[in-house]
Amino acid sequence: MIGRLVDFPRRPHHPLDILGIPMSFASPLFLWFFMPATLAACWSLPARHRDAVVAAASLVFYTWGAGPYTLLLLAAVAVNYGAGLALGSPRLRDRPGARRGVLLAAAGWDVAVLAVWKYAGFAGRQVDALAGALGLGHTPIVALALPIGISFFTFHHLSYVVDVYRGSTPAQRSPVRFVTYIAMFPQLVAGPIVRYHEIAGQLGDVRRDRLGDLAAGFPRFALGLAKKVVVADSLAPVADAAFAQAGGQITTPTAWLGASAYALQIYFDFSGYSDMAVGLGAMAGFRLPENFDRPYTAYSVTDFWRRWHMSLSRWFRDYVYIPLGGNRGGAPRTYRNLLTVFALCGLWHGADWTFLVWGLYHGALLVAERLLGWDRPPAAAWAAVLRRGATLLLVVVGWVVFRAESMPEAWGMLRAMFTWRPGELDEFVAYAANRQRMLVFAAALAVVALPAGPALGPLIETGRGPAARVARAAVTWVAAPYAAMLVAAGTFSPFLYYQF
């Protein structure tokens, strides 16, 4: 049996921590009680009650992990719901200044909530460090727990008020449907980020094909469960053991094994969550946006961001990059906009220098690709192979900074990777990297190395033909039962993106 990862992943690595641990999709409580009860209510009650069932279940789901911080979510819901009604009011239709004021007030509230709860502690630590360096003594540091999912529901609120302000979608007048959109439990804690206009037409829709929803959604959910429990949780102990040695004399083989294991872990963990979210949404009658499209087959870092966490990339493109001017105004302004967007993208993942450096690293790579013309697809097949390998290497380097507890730890890991340090695997890493985990590692690496093609998730959910039918049968009757056995044995851990 694959060993259990008993410790919560070490991120976030500042003195604060996330508030509670949310009900994991890969836990017995969710799989055998919460999910069946919620879906049974959705399927057995008249279709007009579906949104209310999902809204109520979502608040229960969030309260399980966030406790009293559910009040913060509800306050944010109330502010943005009211702002949407005001922006859609006929009284403000011909008053652009008043509409702009409502938008700025709502957006200011959303940004302030995120800034206080996620970044106040980080800012306080920087001020304290600066005061100490200047000999001014120590300053107070705010210590706040990080409410789960705050980055995601803040971005949902921002996209909603901006969409209503722009007139791309009407304001939602039903508070139940608005809560359903914001708090929908499949995507509340770790995405995908669903912009309001993408789902507005599905809220209140009473046309239901319950058996069709189940047939489309359950295999997709099963695929995500297998990715998470069978693959990601098997690789986590290997990555954790290697990164724990990064501050010391880590050998080159250990560093490369740890970096590679983490690159595979975060992909299978996060894409597995997204598959489960899309599958859960489908079973409840909602179609959520795709979040991954085989990102490790990208031919450039630009292409990688078209394939990795696609809902976040689209959000930053439409609500930050384009309003800043996009690629209008010449090359220097475009490069400035790219670096700004990716600095914000890094900080969105966490309040720490490692996340900021990771974001700026990717922004700098995108600027370099534009300068060199490497953001366009290669013409020759051999060039595509080389570019794909180079892109994957650059992404893995970035994951080292993203995963490290501090910048010195990241530099130590990177020095070991690119400066030969002979020696066997560290004993703790060797213990974690047992035969079964290395078989999973090899299988995951083989999947990543496959030629570019259709993503497995959408193929399983909506594909036709023999290949799609075989894939659906495999995840439903083989992968899902095996993953359920591992869950029953306690072999699961929280999703990595629960921390962001």
The residues annotated as belonging to the active site are 349
Burial class (CB in 10 A: 0-12, 13-18, 19+), 61: buried
- Write down the residue that tokens 């911080």 correspond to: 69
> Using CA atoms, how far apart are residues 496 and 267, in angstroms rounded to an integer?
10
353, burial (CB in 10 Å: exposed 0-12, middle 13-18, buried 19+) = middle
